[in-house]
Amino acid sequence: MTSHPAPLTIVALSGGVDSAVAAWRLLQDGHRVQALHMTNWDADDAYCTAAEDLQAARRVADQLGLVLHHVNFSDEYRARVFADFLREYAAGRTPNPDILCNREIKFGECLRHAQRLGARYLATGHYARVEPADGGARLLRARDENKDQTYFLHAVSPGALASAVFPLGALTKDEVRHIARDIGLDNWDRRDSTGICFIGERPFAEFLAAHLDTPPGPIVDEHGNELGRHHGLACYTLGQRGGLGIGGVAGQPETPWYVAARDAARNALVVVQGRDHPALLSRVLETAVPAWLARPPLPWRGFARIRHRQPLEACTVSGDDCSLSVRFDNPQCAVAPGQSVVFYDGEQCLGGAVIERYEPLARVGGASATNGAAIMGN
């Protein structure tokens, strides 16, 4: 009888410790494994780590005895992720390119490339779990809640998710590093990548200024008093505390200042004191077209988060296939249009949607300062 080889699993090998341990675990479980390193950003400057990442991936592949493929998706990334990033910031919103990268590049272009190489599955170092369900797959939260990355994976298509493997879903980050050290991987203590890959360690304002018109303007309090100068409205996020350059203000308590609104009409950044200021809080938001992995019947009671690592918050969701209205039981701080709200039923991630509008408990600044907040009751 002729034996057939096991299905091929290709690991997206970044050069970091997570994808390296993911590859090792697959080998330990008897999978037939090859590796694929993606270059998604190859700018010729001191901040780009593409060459360093490729060399790190080659060292890991050599240590594990893996065939390593290399593919450059820089053009696709610029067209499908970076262009959207710039459009959103130019429109006064705060995009999340990691979500788009997972959908369009990692589980889009990369998955298709892996399939052309003969792979049935694409494995990554994401902290998440996936289980077969009704011809598709269920996306489940990782064991390590602090590292859980389902927020960034919620927009991956159900078909692509069915071909995904997440070998780290049941591990904590500490366990991953211990494994890497114990098996002798050179990168066991390599620093985690943070932030957005195409920005790297460079100052964010400097990067945006090179691609967008970011004229400076006043930083004002809720009464219109000027407290300082900003570097361009696009350089600041709602709820931001650091980097404002506001010292002690005469006659004001020593309470931290937070970005509450971006008033485009006056090119003014509006700040308030205290994280519990009503201008920073909202119970209600509206979204763009939702991306469902498992669509619940609407209206629906469940849990959601509006940012990575945020504790799950109870909410009621209503709407249709075009948009959703989400009402939280407790006010949420710094709801940012352009970011995503992601829904959960227990440990299962159901999907999510980009936030379009929100209604603050109190308005500050001009009419455009809240980025088109919806007119909804609180």
| The two three-digit tokens of residue 196, written as one number | 């957005």
* DSSP structure string for 193-245: P-S-TTTTTS-HHHHHHHHS----EEEE-TT--EEEEES-GGG--TT--TT--
Question: Is residue 197 flagged as an active site residue?
Answer: yes
Phi-psi region of 105 (alpha: psi -120 to 50; beta: other; left: phi over 0): alpha
**Are 118 and 147 in contact, with CB atoms under 8 Å apart?**
no
Q: Which of 101, 235, 315, 349 is catalytic?
A: 101
| Residue 250: partners with Cβ closer than 8 Å, 6 or more residues away | none
Query: In angstroms, how far is CA 55 from the centroid of its own chain?
Result: 25
Strand, helix or coil for residue 134: coil
Task: Name the β-bridge partners of 132.
Answer: 137
Q: What share of the chain is helix, strand, coil (3-state, %, to 5)?
A: 25, 30, 45
Cis (ω within 30 of 0) for the bond into 299? yes
Which of the following is catalytic: 110, 197, 315, 349? Answer: 197
Q: Are strands 324-333 and 340-345 parallel, antiparallel or unpaired?
A: unpaired
Contact 187, 16 (CB under 8 A): yes
Judge residue 228's burial from the number of C-beta atoms within 10 Å of its C-beta, 0-12 exposed, 13-18 middle, 19 or more buried.
middle
Active site residues: 101, 197
